[in-house]
Structure 1
Amino acid sequence: MNSSLALSSTTFIYALASIFYIGSFAFKKENLAKIGFIVLVIGFLDNTLGIILRWIESYQMGYGHAPFANMYESLVFFSWTVAILYIFVELKYKEHIIGVFATPLVFLAIAYASLSPDISSKISPLIPALKSNWLIAHVITCFLGYAGFAVAFGFSIMYFVKPKNSDSTSIFAKLPSLDLIDEITYQMVVFGFLFLTIGIITGAVWANSAWGTYWSWDPKETWSLITWIVYAVFMHLRMMRGWQGKNLAWVSIIGFMAVMFTYFGVNFLLSGLHSYG
């Protein structure tokens, strides 16, 4: 098996997991969500295999770098990080139904990588300035941060659709309590903020090694800082001002929009040293 086959099958498996979760949500059948979780874990393992195989293929082609060098590889890794973080959340809280808000993000990331005509899956060599072990540390920490914010975004959306009336007959009534949704959102933001902070620091060290400066106000650097500030405001409002509920959920949603612009908008709309090829 090669990496392309593994990652193509991963896309299908993640789609299947999403269908099971959505079906569980729509038809109020918890067993479907349990099946969806098993399928999601299988997809995660296949995703892991695909990343490992692609790394091996890079060495076989003489490039010898981790599979984080272009948009395709970054999306594959993003889906992996969101999947593993969500798996941890479901195992911890035993709330199967929440997968309906997380698994589509996992699927959409890898589906966009696999199906978009504008994204090449070709393994390419790194430019000389990027040939550094800092690549692994920087990308892994940044995308773990993005994954935390993605899961927090899913829970923030959940907060708005969960009925306040516990006796509601809405399909959304089966969602976890508002207090639990709020708490998990906060935990995911703290997780994401920690890793984004480490990612920015490792990126600065790497930039100094590659370009001779720790910070150059490149568009990606600038938007990473904006994202960091938004989530710093989130944490300040939660810890120092005691904000909870919808107001804080809005900040989480705004923060994830900043994440998406940092990841996609900068790459497609702005030019800079960090643009993926």
Structure 2
Amino acid sequence: MVYQLAAEAAVDQDLASLSDHLIIAMIVAYAAALFLFALEAAYGRRTALKNNRLVPLAAGAPGAAAPAAVGGSSTVDLDADPPSGASGGDGLEVSVRDSEPRASASRSVLGTVALVVSVAGFLLNLGQIVTRGLAADRWPWGNMFEFVVAICLCAVAAFLYAAFRYQARYLGTFVLLPVVLLLGIAARWLYSEAGPLVPALHSYWIAIHVSAAIVATGAFMVSGAAAITYLVAHRTEVKRAAGERVAGIAAKLPSPELLDRVSHRFVVIAFPLWTFAIIAGAVWADEAWGRFWGWDPKEVWSFITWVVYAAYLHSRATAGWKGTRSAWIGVIGFACLMFNFFGVNYMFSGLHSYA
């Protein structure tokens, strides 16, 4: 019996060691993919994207090509500054769409390699989480380190979905940069050895409430990256409208309209999950603490984040706020999300202080 227990402990230790090695491997993979995506963004050829629901061909726009041409593997060089009749301000989006009938982004073979490396990093990330969970014999998100690693996994998963489904690999630099930074912070300052959960987390609700929050956060990260990229692209178009020449990565970003649609699409995906996470958390709180709501800092900031993203969706649906104004609301929502994640855990004490 003693021999069997010792053997099981050794197996657990082996899995924990494997999990720790996978942390380094996935950081290296993500960093390499980030570097390759940055090279593609800076030196790739601006190429027309395929026509689909998210990337529509502007009907009747000057110089518009036939849908069949856009739907193929076009390698049209679009590096030259497009003509612009924009006058700046909120009306810029309409004129940008007229001056860029075909959505485009910087493309090169480096981006394809970066996408493959990103998939490899994702698999290493997934392997790290699985092996750590098996080593500790529990759900592997019981502390800040594990939560960061799981969020990065979901962020990369959302990015890969966007890259394959919406041709949005141009977001690779903007998504993987915070992923690499977060993983570096987690490995350097948040790391904790695999072990049992604190007593308060011994519940099946951790697999429901925390999982929903993690998946929603990953999707919100992609939305936030698209919103920030939108603001850069919008500023670029304003400069072009003023007759200034733009160079570097900013000159090869997709049109602001496309980035706005991508950002909105991922908020639509993440918001119901975040809503469910809050509701599930309230039910768990009632079971654990005898109340649904107690104004705990984590509860308050989760609700603030929900309100900001609800305002984002409401403003787009009712007031027609698209473009710059909605992008800023999305950025504020993402800032609230990150403060809820880091600031609340380290600046306030409460029932959710498991860091």
Alignment of 1:170 with 2:276, yes or no, is: no
Structure 1's unaligned 5+ residue stretches are 60-64
Q: Which runs of 4+ in 1 moved over 3 A?
A: 165-169
Give the superposition deviation at 1:179: 1.4
CA distance in 2, matches of 1:207, 1:123: 25
Alignment of 1:78 with 2:151, yes or no, is: yes
Residue 333 (structure 2) aligned to one of 243, 255, 268:
255
Residue 124 (structure 1) aligned to one of 191, 195, 198:
195
Contact 1:95 1:176 in 2 (8 A): no
Structure 2 counterpart of 1:151? 222
CA distance in 2, matches of 1:187, 1:264: 25
Structure 2 counterpart of 1:209? 287
Q: What does 1:20-31 align with in structure 2 at a 5 Å threshold?
A: 20-28=36-44, 30-31=108-109
Alignment of 1:196 with 2:292, yes or no, is: no
Match of 2:113, as an amino acid? I
Structure 2 counterpart of 1:269? 347
CA distance in 2, matches of 1:214, 1:14: 39
Higher relative contact order (CA 8 A, sep 6+): 2
Structure 2 counterpart of 1:138? 209
Structure 2 counterpart of 1:96? 169
CA distance in 2, matches of 1:113, 1:228: 25
Larger mean CA deviation between 10-19 and 167-176 belongs to 167-176
Percent identity reads 36
Residue 16 (structure 1) aligned to one of 14, 32, 41:
32
Structure 1 counterpart of 2:136? 58
Alignment of 1:114 with 2:130, yes or no, is: no
Give the superposition deviation at 1:34: 1.4
Deviations 1:80-107 (A, max 9, x none): 0100000000101223322111111221
| Higher alpha-carbon Rg | 2
Alignment of 1:182 with 2:260, yes or no, is: yes
Match of 2:117, as an amino acid? V
CA distance in 2, matches of 1:170, 1:192: 34
SS in 2 for 1:215: coil
Alignment of 1:160 with 2:231, yes or no, is: yes
Give the superposition deviation at 1:120: 2.9
SS in 1 for 2:191: coil
Match of 2:126, as an amino acid? T
SS in 1 for 2:35: helix
Calculate the TM-score normalised by the size of structure 1: 0.93
Contact 2:298 2:344 in 1 (8 A): yes
Alignment of 1:35 with 2:113, yes or no, is: yes
CA distance in 2, matches of 1:23, 1:101: 13
Deviations 1:234-275 (A, max 9, x none): 011000110011111110111111001100000110001111
CA distance in 2, matches of 1:98, 1:205: 36
Match of 2:247, as an amino acid? S
Contact 1:130 1:210 in 2 (8 A): no
Give the superposition deviation at 1:174: 2.3
